[in-house]
């Protein structure tokens, strides 16, 4: 019997694009709702890491499905990844450099005015 090892894998924008194409992931933007309202990566949902309801909000995610986190530059999502590990999530990806690096590398974003 193989035991499941839980880890956080930091991924580049190119790796993230491949993951989004190959796996059914829960794409989570951990920035504030104001930041999310301005721009986001298509298909993502917003769970504000600074929100008082953060713990309850992550409980709504499926712990058995991969979660791909991003923030503005990578610091918040790294902290969030640790919380997800502690909460028992099985597979966690963290976008290196956040949405800033994603945009720089030519990744598609949804902008709102």
Distance separating alpha carbons of residues 29 and 46, to the nearest angstrom:
5
Count of CB atoms within 10 A of residue 6's CB? 14
Report the catalytic residues: 71
* 94: β partners: 10, 69
For residue 51, CA distances in Å to 14, 30, 56, 80, 112 come to 30, 10, 10, 12, 22
Count of CB atoms within 10 A of residue 80's CB? 24
């Amino acid at each position: 019997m193989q035991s499941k090892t839980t880890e956080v894998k930091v991924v580049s924008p190119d790796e993230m694009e491949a993951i989004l194409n190959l796996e059914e992931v829960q794409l989570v933007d951990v920035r504030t709702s104001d930041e999310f309202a301005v721009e986001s990566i298509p298909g993502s949902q917003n769970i504000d890491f600074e929100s008082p309801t953060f713990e309850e909000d992550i409980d709504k995610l499926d712990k058995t499905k991969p979660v791909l986190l991003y923030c503005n530059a990578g610091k918040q999502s790294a902290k969030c990844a640790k919380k997800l590990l502690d909460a028992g999530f099985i597979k966690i990806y963290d976008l290196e450099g956040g949405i800033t690096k994603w945009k720089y590398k030519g990744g598609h974003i949804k902008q709102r005015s």
